[in-house]
Structure 1
Amino acid sequence: MSKMILWSFVIIGMALLLFRFRKKTLIKDSILVFLLKAYFSTFIGIFVAKEKLIEYPVRFLSKYFDTSIVFESFLYPIMCVYFFQTTYHSKFPSIVLQCALYTGALTIIEVLCEKYTDLIKYHNWTWMYSFITIFFLSLFVRLLMQWINKMDKQNG
């Protein structure tokens, strides 16, 4: 059952990715957001898995990865592309609010997966750690992109 759910997440992720990238707006920025988020979340995920804070009993490429590459390198970066694009013209308070909403949705899905599947098991971890980590990493990449675009305009 957990493998089926994992495959469902991959299919949903691909559909969301195709839907988002078929629009011609902010393509360069969206790709950069996706890659930055995948890089940072994979780095953090490796640390969390190696420290045995979280375990992923059912995962893709389990022979090679201790982490959930579907979440860290695919689903979470896709969510951040949506977050970036929906906040592109927003002021800081709106960015923080939307970040909390996106993070809350991901955290709820994670908690349900932890409770009802073998996709994730918390050891020395709680949903609150996930929320805080996802929130601040999402906000960091969003603000980093704002800074990158500001520097690009100044130099262009």
Structure 2
Amino acid sequence: MSKDRWVLTAVWVLSFGLIFTIPRRKIRLAVMSFLFKLMLTCPIGLIVVEYNLVAYPVVELPDVSRTSMTYEYFAYPIICMVFNCYYPSGRSRCVQFSYYIIFCMPLTITEVILEHYTNLVRYVHWSWFCTMLSLMITFLLSRMFCVWFFNRKRAPASNM
């Protein structure tokens, strides 16, 4: 098995392991976070690849999509689950902003390392800053959605 396939396998194993870090009382939050992140990453990932900003030379299903299924549809949404389940909502804005950095910076550094040493990702018209910015924006959107979804008032059922 090639180095790239080993890395993909390791990402799947580590991502699957992260599922078990989710507290039982936050399963609904985790699932909603996962699904919302999928809704964001599916079209964004396809657009980025179609506009030749990023290329994925090694893909899992080349006949289906040129995006990385492992990253876009599994690892990234699972990391977002963990992000939302452990978000420091009662803390200061500085702590909350640091939380975004704590999650986004390692993901960005990992992607840069993978870009340099594997064939899993190639930056065409992209940079590490674009990755960091897109991660922070999508994490923020995911957090905003989860806060909205779980804090909204349920409308009473109408008698028709």
User: TM-score of the superposition, structure 2-length normalised?
Assistant: 0.89
Q: 1:56 to 1:116 in 2, by over 3 A?
A: same
Cα shift readout 1:52-100 (whole Å, capped 9, x = no counterpart): 1100001211221111111111111111111111115334613222112
Who is 2:26 aligned against?
Answer: 26
Which one-letter code corresponds to 2:5 in the other structure?
K
Q: Give the alignment partner of residue 11 of structure 1, picking from 8, 13, 17.
A: 13
Cα distance in structure 2, aligned partners of 1:91 and 1:83 = 15
CA distance in 2, matches of 1:130, 1:28: 28
> Is this contact kept in 1: 2:54–2:121, CA < 8 A?
yes
Aligned length: 153
| Between 28-37 and 86-95, the greater mean CA deviation after superposition | 86-95
Over aligned residues, Cα RMSD in angstroms?
1.6
- 1:91-142 C-alpha deviation (Å, 9 max, x unpaired): 4613222112101010011000001000000000001000000101101110
Q: Say yes or no: does 1:69 pair with 2:95.
A: no
Counterpart-to-counterpart distance in 1, 2:8 and 2:149: 34
Counterpart-to-counterpart distance in 1, 2:24 and 2:81: 14
Please give the TM-score of this superposition, normalised by the length of structure 1. 0.91
Greater helix share, structure number = 1
* Matched residue, 1:114: 115
For the Cα contact (< 8 Å) 1:42–1:69, is it kept in 2? no
Q: CA deviation at 1:50?
A: 0.5
Question: Who wins on radius of gyration, i.e. which is larger?
Answer: 2
| Residues 1:142 and 1:125: Cα distance change in structure 2 (over 3 Å) | same
Specify the alignment match of 1:139 in structure 2: 140
Of 86-95 and 137-146, more deviation after overlay is shown by 86-95
Q: 1:147, CA displacement in angstroms?
A: 1.4
- Give the SS at the match of 1:26: helix
Percent sequence identity is 25
